[in-house]
């Protein structure tokens, strides 16, 4: 007979302790005593360690900083992907970090905001935007502890800006091991997999995210799934999914870029040109460097279609 015991944090879903016990049915009472004594012996220190971790990982003891953080996260989580919204969030997060310099959630979200501005071409100095984002992400990582949201955001930012992608994926894996039901974590992991050149794995992670939290804004998930289909050269599926993303949020630059490239590869050049026309109303950076797409074949597939859509010859 084998008995498996697990201790789970009911609030976070985090795994605290597990063990298994093997024994013979002929000695069932001895096995019962062994399980009882082992579980009793391990639960108190395991719970104590979990409580220590919970206490150390509290976001902040400054309620004003916490309020500033909530005000900063609200427009981003609502899917209002606009340049001024990110700038407003960054102003609020800067105030929160000034009050608590070790506030991991605020540091990580600020890093993400800078990455989003860089990705959309909504910055006058991309190099400085990158430097600030990476610095904030590293500061957040130093105080992240076992907070899956901080770990996941840090991984997304560092992975995007060319840090060790394998290490970034390991961070998201760690976040998902801590909380396997972390819907946003699956979404961030999906992006890392796409950047690593694994479109089908990425699509699977986005679909898991949507299954875990079907009520959360879907624009980002649809963009991720559409991008995965694009790199797998399923252009019709990609087009349909990217259009769903634009129905949710019509102001996000990367969605238009991928849709324009999709139309170009399908030979639908009138629609590709029209998509670029809309794109130019949102950003001056129509064709980005796209260095976060590590697979060179994927990167060129994306950029060649986008150049064609934009009427560029090189």
Give the pLDDT confidence score for residue 82 in this predicted structure.
85
What average pLDDT does the chain have?
A: 89
The residue among 244, 247, 252, 223 whose CA lies nearest residue 81 is 252
User: pLDDT band for position 15 (50/70/90)?
Assistant: confident
pLDDT > 90? residue 45: no
Percent of the chain clearing pLDDT 70 (strictly above): 91
Does the domain at 183-314 match CATH 1.25.40.10? Answer given as yes
pLDDT > 90? residue 48: no
22-36, 103-117, 145-159, 194-208: range with lowest mean pLDDT? 22-36
**Stretch(es) of the chain classified as CATH 1.25.40.10:** 61-180, 183-314
pLDDT, tens digit (0-9, with 9 covering 90-100), for 243-296: 999 999 999 999 999 999 999 999 999 999 999 999 999 999 999 999 999 999
The domain 61-180 is placed in CATH, from the list 3.40.50.1010, 1.10.3720.10, 1.25.40.10, 3.30.420.40, at 1.25.40.10
Sheet strands (E) in the chain:
2-8, 15-22
For tokens 């019962």, the residue is: 32
Residues with Cβ within 8 Å of 292's Cβ and at least 6 positions away in sequence, in order, are: 159, 160, 161, 162, 195
User: pLDDT band for position 115 (50/70/90)?
Assistant: very high
pLDDT, tens digit (0-9, with 9 covering 90-100), for 139-149: 999 999 889 99
Higher pLDDT: 187 or 55? It is 187
Give the pLDDT confidence score for residue 309 in this predicted structure.
97
Residue 37: Cβ-neighbour burial (10 angstroms; 0-12, 13-18, 19+): exposed
Of the chain, the end-to-end C-alpha distance in Å amounts to: 68
Percent of the chain clearing pLDDT 90 (strictly above): 66
**CA–CA separation, 140 vs 105, rounded Å?**
7
pLDDT > 60? residue 43: yes
The residue among 178, 96, 99, 183 whose CA lies nearest residue 144 is 178
Segment holding 33, helix H or strand E: helix 28-56
Bin 77: left if φ > 0, else alpha if -120 < ψ < 50, else beta. Answer: alpha
**Within 10 Å of residue 63's Cβ, how many Cβ atoms?**
9
Give the pLDDT confidence score for residue 56 in this predicted structure.
46
Give the pLDDT confidence score for residue 241 in this predicted structure.
98
């Amino acid at each position: 007979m084998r008995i498996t015991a697990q201790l789970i944090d009911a609030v976070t879903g985090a795994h605290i302790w597990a063990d298994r016990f093997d024994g013979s049915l002929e000695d069932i009472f001895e096995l019962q005593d062994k399980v009882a004594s082992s579980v009793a012996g391990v639960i108190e220190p395991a719970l104590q360690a979990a409580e220590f971790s919970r206490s150390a990982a509290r976001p902040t003891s400054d309620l004003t900083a916490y309020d500033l953080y909530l005000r900063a996260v609200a427009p981003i989580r609502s899917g209002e992907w606009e340049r001024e919204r990110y700038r407003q969030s960054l102003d609020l997060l800067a105030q929160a970090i000034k009050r608590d310099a070790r506030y991991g959630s605020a540091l990580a979200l600020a890093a993400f905001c800078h990455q989003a501005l860089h990705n959309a071409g909504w910055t006058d100095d991309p190099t400085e935007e990158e430097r600030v984002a990476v610095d904030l992400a590293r500061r957040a990582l130093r105080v992240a502890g076992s907070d899956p949201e901080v770990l996941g955001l840090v991984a997304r930012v560092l992975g995007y800006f060319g840090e060790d992608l394998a290490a970034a994926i390991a961070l998201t894996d760690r976040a998902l091991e801590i909380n396997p039901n972390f819907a946003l974590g699956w979404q961030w992991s999906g992006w890392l997999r796409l950047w690593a050149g694994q479109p089908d794995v990425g699509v699977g992670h986005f679909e898991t995210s949507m299954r875990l939290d079907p009520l959360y804004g879907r624009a980002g998930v649809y963009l991720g799934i559409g991008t995965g289909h694009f790199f797998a050269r399923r252009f019709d599926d990609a087009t349909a999914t990217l259009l769903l993303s634009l129905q949710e949020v019509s102001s996000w630059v990367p969605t238009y870029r991928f849709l324009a490239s999709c139309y170009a590869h399908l030979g639908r050049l009138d629609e590709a040109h029209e998509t670029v026309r809309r794109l130019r109303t949102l950003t001056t950076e129509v064709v980005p460097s796209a260095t976060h797409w590590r697979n060179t074949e994927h990167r060129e597939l994306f950029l060649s279609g986008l150049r064609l859509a934009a009427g560029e010859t090189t």
